[in-house]
Amino acid sequence: MRFYSLNDRKHTSDFENAVVRGLAPDKGLYFPERIERLPDSFFDQLADLDKEEIALRVIRPYIGTEIPEDELLKIIKRSLDFDFPVVPLNENISVLELFHGPTMAFKDVGAGFMAGCLGYFIKKGNLGNVTVLVATSGDTGGAVAHGFLGVEGIDVVILYPKGKVSEVQEKQLTSPGRNISALEVEGTFDDCQAMVKKAFLDEAITTQRKLTSANSINLARWLPQMFYYFLAYQQLKVNAKPVFSVPSGNFGNICAGILANAMGLPVSHFVAANNRNDTVVDFMRTGKYKSRKSVQTISNAMDVGDPSNFVRVLEIFQQEFSQLKNKFSAYSYDDEATKKAIKEVFSEYDYLMDPHGAVGYLGLKDFLKDHPQYQGVFLETAHPVKFLETVEEVIGEKVPLPEEIKDLMTKQKKSLQIKTYEDLKGFLLDE
């Protein structure tokens, strides 16, 4: 399939080139030129299909023959090598747990899939070595480090803001070593992001190294996020037409769900649940999109003031505000409300949410207040121990650590401290 740039439809690309480039040459996001509808027979059989088979059917139309089926299946197997349980809290609220992967956040699926695709394209041919350069506010770093660890032909350089990621997140991105380098930046996430952007435009670097990004706008991270909406649907009651509430930052995850729905997955409604970074909530109220500077919250992976993937959401609805409104709502909650929700669900259902999932829970509850007839599912996007300091303080007790985390905490942090863009440049040119 071809993909076109959302800035200018004339710029098109195949899958490989779009994955290697990340963004189109005009800086637009790539979007599939057709949204495939899956046949009724697929949904009739869904209950009996295994997760790899489902994923293959869902992604195949977009990749075509660019990756042979046996290779594609290997990539899928690696990126879905854990469980995606739907856990009921009560009659009409369930949690889709997306944190059973190696770095305990949903980004493991997209990062693993992208690493597999890029690894395949490098092995196949004429790309040469590639450097994945990425800035992280927390979860992306670990997922990318783990996904790309040991992949032949790829070096990964991760920039993260010193002292602004959780302890678990820091260990996950600084301990792998090998082809993964972690740069600890004296500054904020925005500073890291700005340095990465500058490097992509710096010819002194790009003539020496092939740079690519692994952030959530990449097709190879975005598209596989559809998989678990199908896996969730498979676990619900026959003929359920659920509402999905998705804690959203850059809007890649929810946008994948909306694409799954456009391919035929029965869904009644999507709720975008935001923290105080509520650009989209404002847009839904006023019809005018105004980006803002991000503000810091306890759900830090959603501290995004100008969500990149929202243009893809609009494109799925053919830029029709009325169509969007029928299927999509947005709500926002501050840290106090989020903490209160964590406490409430812990005492009422003995279920511990992380601060991101908690925002999703709140969005779902508010939507169901006016629409009690629906079956609701919110996405738990990370394991609560990734945000240990916050959740322990909220519930006022210690949270037992899973073995993998205890193990992780004993590993050594390896990072290089940097301050300026010149430091980054020096690092990239020296290596």
Ligand X SMILES: *Cc1c(COP(=O)(O)O)cnc(C)c1O
187, 159 Cβ separation under 8 angstroms: no
- Least Cα distance to 23 among 45, 5, 44, 35 occurs for 5
Phi and psi angles of residue 3, each rounded to the nearest 5 degrees, phi first: -125, 140
**Which residue type sits at 421?**
Y
Shortest distance (Å) from residue 143 CB to ligand X: 8
Which CB, 110 or 176, lies closer to ligand X?
Answer: 110
Which CB, 131 or 250, lies closer to ligand X?
Answer: 250
Spatial neighbors of 304 by CB under 8 A, at least 6 apart, are 249, 250, 277, 294
Return the beta strands (E) in 265-400 as ranges.
269-274, 328-332, 376-380
Among left, alpha and beta (phi > 0; psi -120 to 50; other), residue 385 is: alpha
Q: Residues in the chain, how many?
A: 431
Binding residues vs ligand X (CB under 6 A): 105, 107, 139, 216, 247-253, 301-302, 356, 381-382
Half-sphere exposure of 102 (CA within 13 A, CB side): 23
Among left, alpha and beta (phi > 0; psi -120 to 50; other), residue 401 is: beta
Shortest distance (Å) from residue 431 CB to ligand X: 28
Q: Checking DSSP bridges between strand 93-97 and strand 86-88, what pairing results, if any? A: antiparallel
Q: How far apart are CA 252 and CA 414, in angstroms?
A: 30
- Least Cα distance to 248 among 310, 316, 164, 326 occurs for 310
Which CB, 275 or 375, lies closer to ligand X?
Answer: 275
- Least Cα distance to 250 among 209, 218, 288 occurs for 218
Shortest distance (Å) from residue 65 CB to ligand X: 29
298, 393 Cβ separation under 8 angstroms: no
Shortest distance (Å) from residue 225 CB to ligand X: 7
Which CB, 135 or 382, lies closer to ligand X?
Answer: 382
Which CB, 248 or 390, lies closer to ligand X?
Answer: 248
Instruction: Write the DSSP symbol of residue 163.
Output: T
Taking the chain, what is the end-to-end CA distance rounded to the nearest angstrom? 37
Tokens of 265: 């997955």
Tokens of 96: 């889709």
Which CB, 248 or 294, lies closer to ligand X?
Answer: 248
Q: How far apart are CA 80 and CA 75, in angstroms?
A: 9
Which CB, 209 or 312, lies closer to ligand X?
Answer: 312
138, 170 Cβ separation under 8 angstroms: no
R_g over Cα of the chain: 20
Shortest distance (Å) from residue 363 CB to ligand X: 12
Residue that is written with structure tokens 């369930």 in the block: 94
Among left, alpha and beta (phi > 0; psi -120 to 50; other), residue 163 is: left
Strand partners, 181: 157
Which one from 27, 51, 77, 107 is the annotated catalytic residue? 107
Which CB, 209 or 276, lies closer to ligand X?
Answer: 276
Shortest distance (Å) from residue 86 CB to ligand X: 18
Q: Is 51 known to be catalytic?
A: no
Which CB, 205 or 316, lies closer to ligand X?
Answer: 316
Shortest distance (Å) from residue 272 CB to ligand X: 8
Which residues participate in catalysis according to the annotation? 107
